[in-house]
Amino acid sequence: MFKIIQKRKFFFVFSGILCLVSILSLSFWGLKLGIDFTGGALMELEFKNMARPEVRIIREKATNILGEVIVQETGTSAVILKFKNIDEDTHQRFLNEFKMAVIPASSDEVKPSIEENRYETIGPSIGRELKKKALWAIILVNLGIIIYIGWAFRKVSKPVASWKYGLGAIIALVHDILITLGLFSLLGHFFGAEVDSTILVALLTILGYSVNDTIVLYDRIRENLLRQRNEKFEETINESVNQNLSRCINTSLTTEFVLLALYFFGGETIKYFSLALIFGIFIGTYSSIFIASALIVEWGKVRITHN
């Protein structure tokens, strides 16, 4: 049996370092928000019967008319351009001038061309509304988790109050989301990774996945506490974690394999979405095993000491 709970201070320090790095990164660099939250335009161009130009060349030609542009390759022959909102005249002028500058001359029967597959605009007011709804969604999810776990664990109130199990789950969730956002703050600063609505979906998925692991673990703790009332609290928690260890790891690994395939073969448009899930589920599994259960032990020790 692994002495996971007995080594909890090591995991607390490790998580504290990750959280500190995330807070510093978010404080200094913040998040590079996508047009879903800031407002802007998105254009998808497909290069037909011609080689797709290098990203550097596309960005250089587009910047002359559109201003600052983010270029993202998608598939084998298309790109997505993200930029500030423009009027329709500028939109059409860009398409005409970009085609003239990029399409090579050809005498073949099949002429090279550039087609606009998609053009979308999002106003800043919609972006602000999305940010507000995203925040409320996360707050309501967390409140619901505390209420549900407090009710489910109402029969297990010693040596830790039942509502503290819900608080432990929330702390683990905040830990997971904070570190994942810290990763995207670093990726945004160094590699230009944007946080858009797909990343929000990934974060909410991580919340659900992580709390599922934590509740399953807490449920095993509840069963053992009710059955082994004379055992030491710390030993009961450690035994419960070990009993649930293989289940948590195996479930996460099978999910991670699918997400890795999605990351490497799913295309550029969902690359960061897949990465958020890969990293977030890994951190969520780690926090369920090593943080959520250890917090319960610490609170139990405090109550026993006070009594």
Instruction: State how far the Cα of 181 lies from the Cα of 203, in Å rounded to an integer.
Output: 9
> Are residues 160 and 249 located together in one domain of the fold?
yes
> Are residues 202 and 260 located together in one domain of the fold?
yes
> Are residues 104 and 135 located together in one domain of the fold?
no
303 contacts 187 by C-beta, under 8 angstroms: no
What's the pLDDT band for 157 if we cut at 50, 70, 90?
low
pTM across the whole model: 0.82
Mean pLDDT to the nearest integer, 117-135: 75
> Are residues 114 and 25 located together in one domain of the fold?
no
281 contacts 256 by C-beta, under 8 angstroms: yes
Residue at 294: amino acid letter: A
Return the pLDDT at 132: 78
pLDDT at 306 over 60: no
Specify burial of residue 152 (Cβ count, 10 A radius: 0-12, 13-18, 19+).
middle
Mean pLDDT to the nearest integer, 16-22: 96
Which residue has better confidence, 266 or 158?
266
Question: The domain spanning residue 155 has which CATH number?
Answer: 1.20.1640.10
Instruction: State how far the Cα of 189 lies from the Cα of 206, in Å rounded to an integer.
Output: 23
> Are residues 192 and 288 located together in one domain of the fold?
yes
Q: How many structural domains is the chain composed of?
A: 2
Segments forming the whole domain that contains residue 160: 5-34+125-306
Return the pLDDT at 304: 47
> Are residues 231 and 275 located together in one domain of the fold?
yes
Question: The domain spanning residue 65 has which CATH number?
Answer: 3.30.70.3400
Dig out the tokens for 77 from the structure.
């022959």
